């Protein structure tokens, strides 16, 4: 079955409002059709007025018979109750009586047993007359019935509007989730389907085009840096071979070898910064086993690395990227803090789903507090107190990999000395993944000159 619906948000919102209004009006009409109290009360009050006119118009000798036949009763004024307000029914009786018996007519209503209507019409007679009220016209005098019905109408109308608004907000929530996933490094696209609103379709197309452009730019940048690295490593390799043939006995030759190694390490950092593991598939890994696997070669080389690892901690990780991150932290600790360090791994249950907390602490001089805020920026080194070499990309690479895993990193100087790096990683994927399409796009070939 083909159902027509507006293509624009304006049309859909307008349709939602119209449907809600028509729905409430329909329920109100049903209520009025099912509850004819107002009409019945007007008819009853009209009949009561005619009965009073007949009573006062009758000769004095026949008034008693009319009263007995109609159920009327003469009441002294001090026996007449104060009366009660039963909106809107009491107003109906008062207005109807005044219209038919005169503006100076006084009317009091009592719903207490027995329900009665007390009327004094000076234009017809001096006495108060009690008129019995029967159950039918009183059935609607309980206000909670009226208010309950209209409250139900409001609740149902609000629920209907909530359902419509939820449908409108779903595409926006999908956009938020996909934007976060793209920020985490996933190659995602938003699907534009036949029932997608025209405004959101334009937003989706613009978002998909933006992600295509960003990914294409990243691929071209990676290819460019890879080409530059290849072109620079070729002369560096020739220089190293030439120094090896000439001999490294002189101090100048040894310094040149160290400079070549530093340049090679800097190039490697550039490539690692660009290739942050976004293309690597995530898999559930045993964190304690992975940490031991990374630390084992350093133990074999004689480094004093203390381990305090909680076993059985698993989390979704990009395995190679996580190992690169941990190697960078260990190398940073060795370079600036010496051969002694301590690594701990525990689970923090403050979060509803829990998170793994990995801490790497060295025994070096630490970093000045003023340098901690910008230490993760590329090409920034907190070496003023620690000394060292490099391009300043190590911690930037670490921060990008942790952000790729939806984690958090914090650096602080330990009270007992040294720099402490704390990495928090979620134990499960927190993002609810909507219906997406993954669209890898091949990079354009980058040609080197020469």
> Residue 83: inside a domain, yes or no?
yes
152 and 211 within one domain? no
Domain end point (choices 228, 256, 275): 275
Number of domains in the chain: 4
User: Are 268 and 226 a contacting pair, CB within 8 Å?
Assistant: no
Which is more confidently placed, 321 or 377? 321
Query: Would the pLDDT of 140 be above 60?
Result: no
Exposure string for 404-440, b = 16+ CB within 10 A, e = fewer:
bbbbebebebeeeebbbbebbbbbeeeeeebebeeee
Query: Would the pLDDT of 436 be above 60?
Result: no
* Residues in Cβ contact with 332 at an 8 Å cutoff, skipping those fewer than 6 apart: 362, 394, 395
Query: Would the pLDDT of 80 be above 60?
Result: yes
Instruction: Give the per-residue pLDDT at 346.
Output: 92
Instruction: Give the per-residue pLDDT at 445.
Output: 41
290 and 406 within one domain? yes
Which residue, among 339, 334, 335, 343, has the nearest Cα to 293 in the 3D structure? 343
Q: Computed over its alpha carbons, how large is the radius of gyration of the chain?
A: 43
Question: Highest mean pLDDT: which of 135-139, 167-171, 263-267, 445-449?
Answer: 167-171
Q: Which tokens hold the place of 422?
A: 């704390």
Instruction: Give the per-residue pLDDT at 450.
Output: 37
Domain end point (choices 275, 299, 314): 275
Q: What is the pLDDT of residues 366-393, one digit of tens each?
A: 887 777 776 777 655 555 434 445 455 6
> Residue 439: inside a domain, yes or no?
no
Locus of tokens 């920034």: 380
User: Are 336 and 364 a contacting pair, CB within 8 Å?
Assistant: yes
156 and 25 within one domain? yes
Round to whole Å and give the CA distance between 343 and 294: 12
> Residue 165: inside a domain, yes or no?
yes
Q: What is the DSSP letter of 447?
A: P
How far out from the chain centre does Cα 94 lie? 56
- At residue 342 the predicted structure's pLDDT band, cuts being 50, 70 and 90, is very high
> Residue 437: inside a domain, yes or no?
no
Which is more confidently placed, 268 or 328? 328
Instruction: Give the per-residue pLDDT at 354.
Output: 79
396 and 284 within one domain? yes
Instruction: Give the per-residue pLDDT at 292.
Output: 92
Instruction: Give the per-residue pLDDT at 209.
Output: 92
**Domain span holding position 109:** 37-139
User: Are 216 and 440 a contacting pair, CB within 8 Å?
Assistant: no
Query: Would the pLDDT of 271 be above 70?
Result: no
389 and 314 within one domain? yes
Q: What is the pLDDT of residues 231-253, one digit of tens each?
A: 777 777 777 777 777 676 677 77
Round to whole Å and give the CA distance between 6 and 278: 40
Round to whole Å and give the CA distance between 181 and 326: 23
Tell me the CA distances in angstroms from 135 to 40, 84, 140, 194, 441, one per residue in order.
11, 17, 10, 59, 79
Q: 12-21, 273-282, 426-435 — which is least confidently predicted?
A: 426-435
> Residue 385: inside a domain, yes or no?
yes
Angle among Cα 233, 239, 240 to the nearest 5 degrees reads 90
Query: Would the pLDDT of 35 be above 80?
Result: no
Round to whole Å and give the CA distance between 206 and 212: 10
Instruction: Give the per-residue pLDDT at 449.
Output: 40
Q: Is the dihedral of CA 147, 152, 155, 157 positive or negative?
A: negative
CATH number at residue 221: 1.10.287.130
Which is more confidently placed, 234 or 130? 130
Domain end point (choices 275, 292, 310): 275
243 and 223 within one domain? yes
pTM for the model: 0.47
- At residue 275 the predicted structure's pLDDT band, cuts being 50, 70 and 90, is low
Which is more confidently placed, 435 or 5? 5
DSSP SS3 for 108: strand
Q: Which tokens hold the place of 105?
A: 């007519």
409 and 297 within one domain? yes
- Give the full edge-to-edge strand order of the sheet including 106-110: 73-75, 128-132, 116-120, 106-110
* Residues in Cβ contact with 126 at an 8 Å cutoff, skipping those fewer than 6 apart: none
Q: What is the mean pLDDT of the chain?
A: 76
Can you say whether residue 366 is alpha, beta or left, with left for phi > 0 and alpha for psi between -120 and 50 degrees?
A: left
Query: Would the pLDDT of 344 be above 90?
Result: yes
Instruction: Give the per-residue pLDDT at 358.
Output: 93
Q: What is the DSSP letter of 71?
A: T
Q: 22-36, 53-67, 202-216, 307-321 — which is least confidently predicted?
A: 22-36
Angle, in degrees to the nearest 10, between helices 89-101 and 37-57: 30
111 and 151 within one domain? no
Query: Would the pLDDT of 137 be above 50?
Result: no
Q: Which tokens hold the place of 39?
A: 């009409």
27 and 46 within one domain? no
CATH number at residue 282: 3.30.565.10
User: Are 131 and 117 a contacting pair, CB within 8 Å?
Assistant: yes
User: Are 116 and 151 a contacting pair, CB within 8 Å?
Assistant: no
User: Are 195 and 412 a contacting pair, CB within 8 Å?
Assistant: no
Residue 332, Cβ neighbours under 10 Å: how many?
22
CATH number at residue 76: 3.30.450.300
ω before 114 within 30° of 0 (cis)? yes
What percent of the chain stands above pLDDT 90? 8
> Residue 438: inside a domain, yes or no?
no
DSSP SS3 for 112: coil
Q: What is the pLDDT of residues 144-197, one digit of tens each?
A: 666 677 677 777 877 777 777 777 778 888 888 888 888 776 788 888 887 787
User: Are 260 and 239 a contacting pair, CB within 8 Å?
Assistant: yes
* Residues in Cβ contact with 289 at an 8 Å cutoff, skipping those fewer than 6 apart: none
Q: Are strands 128-132 and 73-75 parallel, antiparallel or unpaired?
A: antiparallel
Per-residue pLDDT, averaged over 400-408, amounts to 84
Which is more confidently placed, 113 or 305? 305
- At residue 422 the predicted structure's pLDDT band, cuts being 50, 70 and 90, is very high
Query: Would the pLDDT of 13 be above 80?
Result: no
User: Are 121 and 48 a contacting pair, CB within 8 Å?
Assistant: no
Q: 74-78, 83-87, 263-267 — which is least confidently predicted?
A: 83-87
> Residue 403: inside a domain, yes or no?
yes
> Residue 216: inside a domain, yes or no?
yes
DSSP SS3 for 6: coil
84 and 53 within one domain? yes
Instruction: Give the per-residue pLDDT at 206.
Output: 92
Angle, in degrees to the nearest 10, between helices 394-404 and 251-274: 20
87 and 109 within one domain? yes
Residue 110: phi and psi, rounded to 5, are -130, 120
172 and 25 within one domain? yes
User: Are 129 and 76 a contacting pair, CB within 8 Å?
Assistant: no
């Amino acid at each position: 079955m083909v159902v027509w619906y507006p293509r624009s948000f304006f049309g859909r919102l307008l349709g939602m409002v119209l449907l809600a209004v028509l729905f409430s009006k329909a329920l109100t009409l049903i209520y009025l059709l099912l509850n004819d109290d107002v009409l019945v009360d007007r008819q009853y009050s009209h009949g009561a007025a005619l009965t009073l006119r007949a009573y006062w118009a009758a000769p004095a000798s026949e008034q008693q018979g009319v009263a007995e036949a109609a159920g009327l009763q003469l009441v002294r004024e001090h026996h007449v109750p104060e009366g009660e307000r039963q909106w809107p029914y009491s107003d109906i009786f008062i207005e109807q009586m005044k219209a038919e018996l005169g503006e100076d007519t006084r009317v009091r209503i009592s719903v207490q047993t027995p329900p009665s209507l007390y009327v004094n019409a000076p234009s017809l007679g001096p006495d108060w007359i009690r008129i019995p009220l029967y159950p039918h016209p009183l059935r609607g005098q309980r206000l909670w019935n009226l208010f309950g019905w209209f409250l139900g109408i409001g609740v149902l109308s609000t629920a209907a509007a909530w359902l419509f608004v939820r449908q409108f907000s779903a595409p926006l929530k999908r956009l938020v989730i996909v934007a976060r996933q793209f920020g985490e490094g996933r190659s995602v696209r938003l699907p534009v389907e036949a029932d997608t609103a025209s405004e959101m379709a334009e937003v989706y197309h613009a978002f998909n085009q933006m992600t295509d452009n960003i990914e294409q730019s990243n691929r071209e940048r990676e290819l460019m840096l890879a080409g530059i690295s290849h072109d620079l490593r070729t002369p560096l390799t020739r220089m190293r071979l030439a120094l090896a043939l000439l001999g490294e006995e002189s101090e100048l030759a040894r310094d040149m070898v160290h400079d070549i190694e530093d340049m090679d390490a800097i190039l490697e950092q550039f490539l690692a910064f660009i290739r942050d593991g976004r293309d690597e598939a995530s898999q559930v890994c045993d964190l304690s086993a992975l940490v031991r696997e990374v630390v084992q070669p350093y133990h074999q080389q004689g480094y004093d690395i203390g381990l305090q690892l909680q076993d059985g901690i698993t989390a979704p990780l990009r395995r190679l990227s996580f190992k690169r991150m941990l190697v960078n932290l260990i190398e940073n600790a060795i370079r600036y803090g010496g051969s002694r360090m301590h690594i701990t791994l525990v689970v923090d249950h403050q979060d509803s789903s829990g998170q793994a907390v990995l801490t790497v602490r060295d025994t070096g001089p630490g970093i000045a507090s003023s340098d901690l805020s910008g230490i993760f920026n590329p090409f920034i080194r907190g070496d003023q107190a620690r000394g060292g070499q490099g391009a300043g990309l190590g911690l930037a690479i670490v921060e990008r990999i942790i952000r790729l895993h939806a984690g958090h990193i914090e650096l602080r100087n330990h009270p007992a000395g040294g720099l402490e790096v704390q990495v928090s990683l979620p134990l499960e994927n927190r993002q609810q993944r909507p219906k997406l399409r993954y669209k890898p796009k091949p990079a354009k070939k980058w040609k080197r000159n020469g």
